[in-house]
Amino acid sequence: MHIRKMTELNLTGKRVLIRSDLNVPIKNGIIQSEARILAALPTIKLAIEKNAKVIIMSHLGRPKEGCYTKKYSLLPIFEYLKKKLNNTKMYFSQNYLNDITLNSGEILMLENVRFNKGELSNSNKLSKEYSSLCDIFVMDAFGSAHRMQSSTYGIGEFVKIACAGPLLINEISALKKALKEPKRPMVAIVGGAKVSTKFNVLHKLSKIADTIIVGGGIANTFLAIDYKIGKSLHEPDFIPEAKKLRDKYNIITPIDSRVGKNFCKTEKSIIRLPSNIKKDEEIMDFGDETITKITNILKNSQTIIWNGPVGVFEFPHFRIGTEKIAKTIARSHAFSIAGGGDTLSVIDMFNIKDCISYISTGGGAFLEFIEGKKLPAIDMLEKNFKKIN
């Protein structure tokens, strides 16, 4: 992989446009998780230290393209960054496609790129407009590296110099370390609601991991191979494919589960064996025997890849499995990589950020990289490298 690195370039006096991933949960104007912002900060600080004219762009949520919506404005993130970079002059711009005036050592933050028509469709017109804003484009948004959009891919077709930021480089290096030369035993935990969206990654991980642990709705689909699981979330159409995987690889499914009758925060949990789940009950977490079995596996592992919670961790009576597993990973001496939006929320909830070897800012990109797919942003950076060299 031949790509240009931001750290190799002279940024002094240059207009440096950084595509960050600042897509964080915001509720009533208050940021709920700072993880992605904090991960993006070192790259921004580096550009300031190099006396560049720094421009930051990102998306937030899924607004209707071409329409400003206050709910999806980056203004709360701008205010947060102003406090973190209080010695730096910072500006915010909603109308920035025509021209930008900025001095060295200053920062201009652009409004949500998804308010711009053509962003999602990778419009050539918009990509050219982005490229005209800068001398150097820095792709640092690993979480959006799987998107072929104007701010992540198209701009690279028109800008003279495109390079990878430190965060993107670190993400790729950490994932390669875990996937190509893992210390063994290697364990992968794959949680989440839908097995259909994660079959490719399960196939890939099954070939390289010694053990796969499935949780959430994914585990329910595996349980439905042999049991009637009440009204539990699962995908009946994918039961045959789940059976093929289970029969071929070492996939750990729950031996008991926490169930409830109502999907709400106040619902109390009951532990059931898969064979005893009632018609009006749904699985929402691992049971105690399953937790013990899995934590013992994790304690003996040397590499852990973790994507997704194993239960409805937002509900107090159904977060036990996710909490015990998260804290076991945190205490482990294994090289651990965690990725995915819900995974980041779990890490914040249990305050274990400093105990995970590497926390990926990517969700979809994290999974696609594990699957072995070439991410469009990486492809763009390689093409730009070849164009100049």
Range with lowest mean pLDDT among 207-211, 303-307, 364-368, 374-378: 364-368
Radius of gyration of the chain (CA): 22
23 is in an annotated binding site: yes
pLDDT band for position 350 (cuts 50, 70, 90): very high
Over residues 247-303, the pLDDT tens digits come to: 999 999 999 999 999 999 999 999 999 999 999 999 999 999 999 999 999 999 999
Choices 3.40.190.150, 3.50.7.10, 3.40.1360.10, 3.40.50.1260: CATH for 6-165+374-387: 3.40.50.1260
Q: Where are the beta strands (DSSP E) in the chain?
A: 15-19, 26-27, 30-31, 53-57, 90-93, 107-110, 136-139, 161-164, 186-190, 211-214, 251-252, 257-260, 270-272, 282-286, 303-307, 335-338, 358-359
Structure confidence by residue, pLDDT tens digits, 317-349: 999 999 999 999 999 999 999 987 689 889 989
Residue 389 pLDDT class (50, 70, 90 cuts): low
**Domain 184-333, CATH class in plain words:** alpha beta
Does the annotation list 314 as a binding residue?
yes
Is residue 342 annotated as involved in ligand binding?
yes
Residue 100's pLDDT band (cuts 50, 70, 90): confident
How far is 389 from 387, CA to CA, in rounded Å? 6
Percent of the chain with pLDDT over 70: 99
pLDDT digit string, tens, across residues 36-94: 999 999 999 999 999 999 999 999 999 998 889 999 999 999 999 999 998 899 999 99
363 is in an annotated binding site: no
- How much is the pLDDT for 351? 93
Confidence of residue 365 (pLDDT cuts 50, 70, 90): confident
Residue 331 among known ligand-binding residues = no
> Which tokens belong to 205?
């991980």
Interior/surface letters 149-166, b for 16+ CB within 10 angstroms, e for the rest: bbbbbbbbbbbebbbbbb
59 marked ligand binding residue? yes
> Using an 8 Å Cβ cutoff, are 110 and 329 in contact?
no
Catalytic residue numbers, as ranges: 36, 194, 341, 364
Domain boundaries, the chain: 6-165+374-387, 184-333
* Cβ atoms within 10 Å of 231's Cβ, excluding its own: 15
